[in-house]
């Protein structure tokens, strides 16, 4: 059942804070048997005074659309149209109550009323009329950087989907009967193309999902299987509630967006057939995120806005759904979102209670639409009704609901970086002061204006103005400089990060290149830290070149009078050097030997060596360990088959690695530099 909203019975009192009392006088020709019922609601307080400099307060804009009677309604005996529309007001004349001849007339004022019953009527509202009245203003606000939301509410079959979407076949050709969503998207791209010429870059991201039985389903999932997985809602500390893992798609044209829209509608329809009447029981939310960057200015100011276009589930009253107890309970569950929406609207509309608790989190729908209803958004509601007398109760409920929603005040602000905002505001202020100063100066020069004299008061005023302008210009200058510094700092950080990434990339590329070239007979120790140097050596030098270098090195050493024996290590990347007198050992990389061109190079190379008196060298350890790892690798496929062996094998590898580290550490602690003096 719908929430019990304050029913406009007799002279109902509604929020006083925002509006004057609207008393509709009963016209003199109205028969006395009609009791006039007046519903008092606030008119839209456009651009109401702002508490915060950057927030704009605005009431929810509420529109009502009346669809034509359908064949079922027309076929009812005595079928009558109970609705009259006059001057943005809807009057409902009820049937005779009981045995008395008293009739009731309910009057509801709205921001817009669309009479769509007969296309031949002069005041008939077409799809385009509806869009231009309630869709177009939201598009404008989205371009200014405000969030916007439009939701359609009404009884099942009252025309919500017709108004919001229209038929898919019509969307394909974009004919006159397409609904608000395709129109909004088409105009969005038309407008982007217009503003693009003014140095603005725009990005459009869309998402489309539905809520059924409190579960969220993505209608545009990356994989069709994902549609079945219900998604969760989380709360971001800054951006508020959002759907986790909801797919978003960046679109560059209306044509591209149209295909996503059609796919989403198809997915919704497919689910509807599977889940029995799902369409009228599910809420669908189509979201557009618009990002506009002003590339004309140095600061590249960016504004972002989110537009939510919502087709709510049909608001069936439970009494009309079923008398069966189980179905009744099911109905309560299905309508939970609408019940909570009613509570939320009631709480927000009731300003008398001040900042009372608003139960947003009682349903997924209200939680997700928190910012749209009573938050940072310009929001419109489209209530749809049928004029048929058989749906009087439903229609009255919808109209009361809509009437109450008019009292909700949203506080919206342009979504931009606070610094961008400061610069924008200062620019506007400077512009205003400049115009003011120019006007004063012109008036003063022409001296024609009798209003202005050259009295000291006037001169003082002009001086104050100049002073204020100078102050604001300085403030703007500082703000822009701060911005520039911040931008430079950020750019520097990015460059550093980029350099690190490049370095990593180079290293990885080198590894990939090396790995793809390494032959099977080259074993690399998993503990080698100078991996690249090691493998570069393997790749750069052919075996014959290495032998050549060893010979050349030996000759240099002999020539310098060093009694050292040199040989290549097993892997072919290091040169083993053994002092023939002491048997101390040292190693150097093969590329160091290649760099030796003159005697001084030999001296440098030998002086950098670390000598070890241990009987084994680091190279010996590496080579021996490589043999162990090689053997282990051969055994691994057999070991992998047995769980116990795998465990033992893992322990073995771990302790082997520990041994390798310990051996290497013990050598390096024994290493010492040795000054080499040549006996020339
Ligand atoms: N303004 C209108 N002009 C002509 N036909 C309309 C209008 N509004 C609705 N209809 C027709 O009424 C029928 C029901 O409309 P629609 O499906 O939009 O209702 P609904 O409120 O979305 O229903 P539900 O809640 O079950 O999804 C459709 O056949 C639609 O074409």
Ligand 1 atom nearest the C-alpha of 277 is 26
- The tally of domains found in the chain comes to 3
| Ligand 1 centroid, distance to 386 Cα (angstroms) | 10
Q: Which residues contact 109 (CB under 8 A, 6 or more apart)?
A: 22, 24, 39, 41, 88, 89, 403
Residue 350 lies in a domain: yes
Q: What is the model's pLDDT at position 315? A: 74
| Ligand 1 centroid, distance to 170 Cα (angstroms) | 14
Q: Is residue 216 located within the same domain as residue 342?
A: yes
Pocket test for ligand 1, best of 73, 115, 162 (most atoms within 8 A of CB): 162
Residue 678 lies in a domain: no
- Which residue among 394, 416, 438 closes a domain? 416
- Which residue among 486, 502, 518 closes a domain? 502
Q: Is residue 247 located within the same domain as residue 326?
A: yes
Q: Say if residue 155 carries a ligand binding annotation.
A: yes
Share of the chain above pLDDT 70, in %: 71
pLDDT band at residue 296 under the 50/70/90 scheme? low
Query: What is the β-pairing status of strands 89-93 and 34-38?
Result: unpaired
By alpha-carbon position, which residue is closest to atom 1 of ligand 1? Answer: 67
Residue 23 lies in a domain: no
Q: Is 279 in the pocket of ligand 1 (CB under 6 A)?
A: yes
pLDDT band at residue 298 under the 50/70/90 scheme? low
| Ligand 1 centroid, distance to 362 Cα (angstroms) | 29
Q: What is the model's pLDDT at position 520? A: 43
Pocket test for ligand 1, best of 157, 314, 395 (most atoms within 8 A of CB): 157
Q: What is the pLDDT of residues 508-538, one digit of tens each?
A: 766 665 555 554 444 454 444 455 555 666 6
Q: Is 125 in the pocket of ligand 1 (CB under 6 A)?
A: no
Q: Is residue 61 located within the same domain as residue 177?
A: yes
Q: Which domain holds residue 447?
A: 419-502
pLDDT band at residue 158 under the 50/70/90 scheme? very high
Q: Is residue 184 located within the same domain as residue 316?
A: yes
Q: Say if residue 266 carries a ligand binding annotation.
A: no
Q: Is residue 410 located within the same domain as residue 454?
A: no
Q: Is residue 423 located within the same domain as residue 572?
A: no
| Ligand 1 centroid, distance to 332 Cα (angstroms) | 23
The answer on pLDDT for 179 being more than 60 is yes
| Ligand 1 centroid, distance to 167 Cα (angstroms) | 10
pLDDT band at residue 275 under the 50/70/90 scheme? low
Q: Is 314 in the pocket of ligand 1 (CB under 6 A)?
A: yes
The answer on pLDDT for 20 being more than 60 is no
Q: What is the pLDDT of residues 544-566, one digit of tens each?
A: 888 888 898 998 888 888 888 99
Q: Is 15 in the pocket of ligand 1 (CB under 6 A)?
A: no
Q: Is 160 in the pocket of ligand 1 (CB under 6 A)?
A: yes
Written in H, E and C, the secondary structure of 268-332 is HHHHHHHCCCHHHHCEEEEEEEEEEEECCCCCCCEEEEEEEEEECCCCCCHHHHCCCHHHHHHHH
- Cα 387 from chain centre: 41
The answer on pLDDT for 88 being more than 70 is yes
Q: Which residues are catalytic?
A: 157, 159-162, 311, 314
Q: 343, 331 in Cβ contact below 8 A?
A: no
Residue 616 — φ and ψ, nearest 5°? -120, 150
Residue 521 lies in a domain: no
CA gap 113, 650 in Å, rounded: 77
Q: Say if residue 160 carries a ligand binding annotation.
A: yes
Q: Say if residue 179 carries a ligand binding annotation.
A: no
By alpha-carbon position, which residue is closest to atom 23 of ligand 1? Answer: 157
| Ligand 1 centroid, distance to 324 Cα (angstroms) | 27
Ligand 1 atom nearest the C-alpha of 66 is 1
Q: Is residue 550 located within the same domain as residue 579?
A: yes
By alpha-carbon position, which residue is closest to atom 31 of ligand 1? Answer: 162
The answer to whether the complex's ipTM is over 0.85 is yes
Would you give the end-to-end CA distance of the chain in angstroms?
108
pLDDT band at residue 627 under the 50/70/90 scheme? confident
Q: What is the model's pLDDT at position 69? A: 92
| Ligand 1 centroid, distance to 155 Cα (angstroms) | 10
CA gap 103, 34 in Å, rounded: 5
| Ligand 1 centroid, distance to 212 Cα (angstroms) | 20
By alpha-carbon position, which residue is closest to atom 27 of ligand 1? Answer: 280
Q: Is 179 in the pocket of ligand 1 (CB under 6 A)?
A: no
Residue 593 lies in a domain: yes
By alpha-carbon position, which residue is closest to atom 20 of ligand 1? Answer: 157
Q: Is 278 in the pocket of ligand 1 (CB under 6 A)?
A: no
By alpha-carbon position, which residue is closest to atom 12 of ligand 1? Answer: 159
Beta strands in 356-441 (DSSP E): 378-385, 409-413, 415-416
Positive/negative CA dihedral, 563, 569, 573, 574: negative
Q: Is residue 347 located within the same domain as residue 465?
A: no
Ligand 1 atom nearest the C-alpha of 279 is 27
Q: Is 162 in the pocket of ligand 1 (CB under 6 A)?
A: yes
CA gap 453, 547 in Å, rounded: 103
* Arithmetic mean of pLDDT, 491-496: 78
By alpha-carbon position, which residue is closest to atom 11 of ligand 1? Answer: 159
Q: What is the model's pLDDT at position 326? A: 52
- Which residue among 365, 385, 416 closes a domain? 416
Q: Is residue 550 located within the same domain as residue 446?
A: no
| Ligand 1 centroid, distance to 330 Cα (angstroms) | 24
Q: Is residue 476 located within the same domain as residue 622?
A: no
pLDDT band at residue 406 under the 50/70/90 scheme? confident
CATH number at residue 185: 3.40.850.10
Q: Is 280 in the pocket of ligand 1 (CB under 6 A)?
A: yes
Considering the chain, what is the average pLDDT of its residues?
Answer: 76
Residue 523 lies in a domain: no
Q: Is 68 in the pocket of ligand 1 (CB under 6 A)?
A: yes
Q: What is the model's pLDDT at position 539? A: 60
* Arithmetic mean of pLDDT, 87-103: 68
pLDDT band at residue 35 under the 50/70/90 scheme? very low
Residue 509 lies in a domain: no
Give the least confident one: 40-49, 96-105, 127-136, 297-306: 40-49
In terms of Cα–Cα distance, which of 286, 306, 292, 304 is closest to 246? 286
Q: Say if residue 161 carries a ligand binding annotation.
A: yes
CA gap 432, 1 in Å, rounded: 55
Q: What is the pLDDT of residues 202-237, one digit of tens each?
A: 899 999 999 988 889 999 988 766 667 889 888 877
Q: Say if residue 157 carries a ligand binding annotation.
A: yes
The answer on pLDDT for 274 being more than 80 is no
The answer on pLDDT for 286 being more than 50 is yes
Q: Is residue 333 located within the same domain as residue 317?
A: yes
Residue 206 lies in a domain: yes
Q: Which residues contact 316 (CB under 8 A, 6 or more apart)?
A: 155, 156, 280, 331, 335, 394
Residue 382 — φ and ψ, nearest 5°? -115, 110
Q: Is residue 569 located within the same domain as residue 591?
A: yes
């Amino acid at each position: 059942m719908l929430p019990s909203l304050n029913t406009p019975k007799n002279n109902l009192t509604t929020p006083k804070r925002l509006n004057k009392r609207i008393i509709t006088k009963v016209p003199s020709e109205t028969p006395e048997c009609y009791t006039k019922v007046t519903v008092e609601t606030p008119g839209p307080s456009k651009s109401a005074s702002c508490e915060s400099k950057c927030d704009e307060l605005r009431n929810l804009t509420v529109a009502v659309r009346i669809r034509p009677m359908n064949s079922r309604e027309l076929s009812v005996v005595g079928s009558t149209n109970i609705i009259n529309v006059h001057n943005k007001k809807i009057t409902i004349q009820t049937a005779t109550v009981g045995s008395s001849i008293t009739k009731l007339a309910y009057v509801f004022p709205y921001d817009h009323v669309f009479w769509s019953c007969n296309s031949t009527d002069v005041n008939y509202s077409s799809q385009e009329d509806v869009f231009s009245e309630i869709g177009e203003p939201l598009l404008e606000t989205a371009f200014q950087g405000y969030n916007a939301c439009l939701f359609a509410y009404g009884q099942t079959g009252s025309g919500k989907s017709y108004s919001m979407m229209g038929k898919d076949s019509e969307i394909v050709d974009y004919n006159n009967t397409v609904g608000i969503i395709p129109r909004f998207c088409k105009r969005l791209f038309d407008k982007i193309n217009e503003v693009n010429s003014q140095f603005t870059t725009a990005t459009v991201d869309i998402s489309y999902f539905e809520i059924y039985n409190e579960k969220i389903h993505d209608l545009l999932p990356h994989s069709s299987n994902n549609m079945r997985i219900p998604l969760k809602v989380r709360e971001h500390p800054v951006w508020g509630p959002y759907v986790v893992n909801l797919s978003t798609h960046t679109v560059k044209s209306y044509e591209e967006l149209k295909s996503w829209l059609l796919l989403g509608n198809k997915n919704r329809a497919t689910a509807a057939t599977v889940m029995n009447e799902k369409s009228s029981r599910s809420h669908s939310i189509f979201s557009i995120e618009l990002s506009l960057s002003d590339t004309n200015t140095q600061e590249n100011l960016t504004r972002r806005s989110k537009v939510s276009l919502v087709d709510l589930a049909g608001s069936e009253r439970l009494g009309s759904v079923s008398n069966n107890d189980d179905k009744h309970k099911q109905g309560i569950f299905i309508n939970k979102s609408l019940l909570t929406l009613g509570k939320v609207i009631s709480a927000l509309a009731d300003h008398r209670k001040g900042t009372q608790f608003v139960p947003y989190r009682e349903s997924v729908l209200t939680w997700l639409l928190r910012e749209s209803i009573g938050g940072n958004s310009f929001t419109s509601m489209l209530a749809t009704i049928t004029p048929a007398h058989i749906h009087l109760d439903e229609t009255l409920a919808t109209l009361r609901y809509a009437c109450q929603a008019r009292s909700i005040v949203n506080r919206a602000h342009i979504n931009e970086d606070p610094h961008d905002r400061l610069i924008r505001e200062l620019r506007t202020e400077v512009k205003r002061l400049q115009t003011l100063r120019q006007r004063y100066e012109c008036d003063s020069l022409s001296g024609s204006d009798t209003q202005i004299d050259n009295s000291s008061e006037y001169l003082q005023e002009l001086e104050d103005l100049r002073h204020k302008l100078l102050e604001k210009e300085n403030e703007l200058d500082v703000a822009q400089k701060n911005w520039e510094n911040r931008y430079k700092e950020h750019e520097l950080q990015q460059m550093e990060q980029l350099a690190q990434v490049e370095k990593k990339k180079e290293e990885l590329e080198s590894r990939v290149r090396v790995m793809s070239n390494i032959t099977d007979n080259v074993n690399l120790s998993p503990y080698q830290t100078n991996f690249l140097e090691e493998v570069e050596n393997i790749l750069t030098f052919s075996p014959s070149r290495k032998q050549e270098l060893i010979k050349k090195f030996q000759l240099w050493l002999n020539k310098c009078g060093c009694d050292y024996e040199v040989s290549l290590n097993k892997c072919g990347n290091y040169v083993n050097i053994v002092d023939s007198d002491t048997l101390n050992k040292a190693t150097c990389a093969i590329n160091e030997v290649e760099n030796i061109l003159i005697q001084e190079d030999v001296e440098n190379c030998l002086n950098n060596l670390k000598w070890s008196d241990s009987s084994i060298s680091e190279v010996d350890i590496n080579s021996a360990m490589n043999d162990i790892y090689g053997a282990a690798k051969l055994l691994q496929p057999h070991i992998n088959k047995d769980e116990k062996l795998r465990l033992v094998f893992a322990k073995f590898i771990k302790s082997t690695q520990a041994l390798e580290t310990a051996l290497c550490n013990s050598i390096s602690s024994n290493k010492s530099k040795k000054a080499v003096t040549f006996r020339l």
